[in-house]
Amino acid sequence: MSFDQKLQALIDAECAKAHTHGVILRVASGDGAVDFKGSAGAAAPDTRFPIASISKMFTAALIMQLADERRIDLDQTVQSILTDVDLSGLHSVKGVDHSPSLTVRQLLHQTSGLADYYESDLAAELKQGKDRSYGLDDVLQMTRALPPQAAPDSGRSYYSDTNYQLLGAVIAAVTGQTYDQAVQSRICKPLGLTRTRVPQGTDIGLPVYHKDAVLKVPQILNSMGPDGGIISNPDEMLTFLRAFMQGRLFKPENTPQMRQWNRLFFPLQYGYGLMRIKLPRWMTLFRATPELIGHSGSSGSFAFYAPEPDIYVIGTFNQTDAPRRPVGFMLRVLGLVAKHRGSG
């Protein structure tokens, strides 16, 4: 069995599991020696799909561009940029309102401690098949109704989509463009991406499922924008991921600070719009596993780079039932790559 056939067999086995309706996988090495794309079920290898929270990498890249251009400072307060937005009472902890002092860096690094608006009724409504649009005012209202996760800079990162909604508003305020317009002009056009965008209509590419129910998500995706609304395809995601990891979307000297890893939730750490996965040896029978840097999404989407083997792994399960499923899958993919290289 060839290497490509082994990867395809792995995809087929994943697609045969419960509540799995389509799987897409794109694997490539930095030197081009490994170059695979495949799919199973109701998906083609080049199908567009919602990338969900991988969108946060696009948002982080845009913020770093604006910082490079000195149009914003990462330690600038968000309120000083969003002068027409009332942030008061958004983040009160033990009687102290931290809202006016929240900085761009805290949002980017998920260290604000803000509540996650998505964990309001929105997540439950989505799984019940309800689709609706919302704006920043709605996001702030949903966030205020939830308890905060922690005070700012409390020593770790707390995942919150609210952080990236606010960053999207920062991008719009500074550039004078909508979030999608900024993505198109500052990322897609320079990289030659023509199939990557925040959806404007009902076409979202591959349907998203919760178990065996197709979810209605066009309006929600359009509203999510900077925290999870982009759709793309595997080839364009590979182009974007390469450019991000190679420091071609912002100054390369930004990379070290963007990879200041904070504890998030096991097995993830968080940087600036980036996740890091490195399993402890006790979990893997004391065998070392590759470090993975990138992002995943609640729809089972994933886009990661493994620096040591120099491998990019991208794809989706388009299934909200098991968002952590890609971790084990990616490690099995990298295991096949290592065996292929070892036998070459």
pLDDT digit string (tens) for the chain, length 344 residues = 999 999 999 999 999 999 999 999 999 999 999 999 999 999 999 999 999 999 999 999 999 999 999 999 999 999 999 999 999 999 999 999 999 999 999 999 999 999 999 999 888 888 888 899 999 999 999 999 999 999 999 999 999 999 999 999 999 999 999 999 999 999 999 999 999 999 988 889 999 999 999 999 999 999 999 999 999 999 999 999 999 999 999 999 999 999 999 999 888 999 999 999 998 655 555 467 899 999 999 999 999 999 999 999 999 999 998 888 999 999 999 999 999 987 65
Distance of CA 305 to the CA centre of its chain: 13
Please report the pLDDT score of residue 283 as a whole number. 53
Please report the pLDDT score of residue 267 as a whole number. 85
The length of the chain in residues reads 344
- DSSP class of residue 185? I
Task: Count the Cβ atoms, other than its own, within 10 Å of residue 228.
Answer: 25
Helix crossing, 325-343 with 3-15: angle to 10°?
Answer: 160
Please report the pLDDT score of residue 281 as a whole number. 59
What is the distance between the alpha carbons of residues 235 and 49, in angstroms, rounded to a whole number?
A: 12
Tokens encoding 73: 């400072």
Contact yes or no for 78/91 (Cβ under 8 A): no
CB burial string 253-291: b at 16+ within 10 A, e below: ebbeebeebbebeebbbbbbbbbbbebeeeeeeeeebbe
Hey, is 329 helix, strand or coil? helix
Tell me, what amino acid is at 45?
Answer: P
Tell me, what amino acid is at 235?
Answer: D
Asked if omega into 307 is within 30° of 0 (cis), the reply is no
Closest CA to 260 of 276, 250, 269, 271: 271
**Which CATH entry fits the domain spanning 54-189: 3.40.710.10, 3.30.390.50, 3.30.70.360, 3.40.50.300?**
3.40.710.10
HSE, side-chain direction, 13 A CA sphere, residue 338: 12
Please report the pLDDT score of residue 202 as a whole number. 87
Q: What is the SS3 string spanning 123-146? A: HHHHHCCCCCCCCHHHHHHHHHCC
- C-alpha pair distances (Å), 271 with each of 11, 51, 74, 146, 274: 30, 19, 14, 24, 5
Please report the pLDDT score of residue 218 as a whole number. 92
Please report the pLDDT score of residue 284 as a whole number. 53
